[in-house]
């Protein structure tokens, strides 16, 4: 119920920002149009945002016949977690990463980058899948997909506002003050995503994921490898859609101001430290991980 309440608040605030941007761009008419669009986006975000995000990343669904090992692993872990079998998707990307999406456990999906399957052991992949199942069980995926859809749409709207012209080619934008306000809206949307997708949400998914997998070591080792992979391998689709960065188990964006703006994940070293402590494997191992990260 708490997550559903947070989702409602997020929808209301992002809708208000969307309508405000419409007013700055086109006055009362722009505000009315933005309100209609926002209501449509809200409905879309709830019912279909998961599929839209999967399409954005070019994800393809896999079956037991096409990928028996991955399908069997997810089925085993989902059963152990008391969850319905989620749909499974592969994304052709060398960067090791994964995310979950869907409005509820009955309509959930887990997307895994091909790079993750190449770089991680079965135990580590199990840790990642368990982390995503934890997000599904906690209904985190609802607020995560809604935030990604609406924040991304708001970013597009603010960009449109700076480029609009009338039939004679004259600028019809919001003027200097309105333009400055529009420039503020996109970072504000990012801040809302950060508040909605709190860092405690990732820590909790790590904790529950370790329980689902049966031990925390696999997930801890996976986070180290994914962190290193993200640093050296670019994910073009994520760079083009930074508002979706919070979906992934590790922020997929390269270092830079955009990555900092959408830094919704807690430090990897701290996540690994907590997981190691759960297994009683702290101490020297933590020092080695800190040096790697």
pLDDT band at residue 20 under the 50/70/90 scheme: confident
Q: What percent of the chain stands above pLDDT 90?
A: 47
For residue 219 the two structure tokens come to 């997930």
Q: Is 132 a catalytic residue?
A: yes
Q: Tokens 């906690």 — which residue?
A: 138
94-103 burial code (b ≥16 CB/10 A, e <16): ebbbbbbbbb
Average pLDDT value for residue range 74-86 = 97
Q: Which pLDDT tens digit goes with each residue over 187-244?
A: 566 566 655 566 778 999 999 999 999 999 999 999 999 999 999 999 999 999 887 8
Is residue 241 within 8 A of residue 251, CB to CB? The reply is no
> Measured between alpha carbons, how far is 108 from 40 in angstroms, rounded to an integer?
22
pLDDT of 99 above 70: yes
Average pLDDT, the chain: 81
The catalytic residue among 61, 76, 123, 132 is 132
More confident site: 32 or 87: 87
């Amino acid at each position: 119920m708490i997550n559903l309440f947070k989702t409602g608040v997020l929808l209301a605030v992002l809708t208000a920002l969307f309508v405000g941007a419409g007013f700055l761009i086109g006055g009362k008419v722009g505000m009315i149009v933005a309100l209609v669009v926002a209501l449509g986006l809200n409905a879309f975000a709830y019912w279909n945002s998961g599929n839209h995000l999967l399409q954005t990343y070019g994800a393809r669904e896999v079956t037991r016949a096409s990928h028996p090992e991955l399908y069997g692993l997810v089925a085993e872990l989902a059963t152990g977690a008391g969850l319905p079998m989620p749909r499974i998707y592969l994304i052709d990307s060398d960067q090791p990463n994964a995310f979950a999406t869907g409005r509820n456990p009955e309509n959930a999906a887990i997307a895994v980058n091909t790079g993750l399957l190449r770089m991680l052991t079965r135990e580590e992949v199990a840790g990642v899948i368990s982390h995503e199942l934890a997000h599904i069980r906690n209904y985190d995926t609802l607020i995560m997909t809604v935030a990604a859809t609406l924040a991304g749409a708001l970013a597009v709207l603010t960009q449109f506002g700076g480029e609009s012209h009338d039939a004679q080619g004259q600028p019809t934008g919001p003027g200097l003050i309105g333009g400055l306000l529009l420039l503020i809206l996109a970072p504000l949307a990012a801040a809302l995503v950060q508040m909605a997708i709190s860092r405690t949400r990732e820590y909790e998914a790590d904790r529950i994921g370790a329980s689902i997998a049966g031990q925390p070591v696999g997930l801890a080792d996976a986070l180290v490898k994914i962190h290193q992979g993200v640093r050296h391998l670019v994910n073009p689709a994520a760079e083009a859609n930074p508002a979706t960065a919070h979906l992934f188990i590790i922020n997929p964006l390269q270092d830079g101001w955009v990555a900092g703006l959408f830094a919704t994940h807690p430090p990897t070293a701290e996540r690994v430290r907590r997981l190691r402590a759960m297994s009683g494997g702290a101490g020297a191992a933590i020092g080695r991980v800190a040096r790697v990260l």
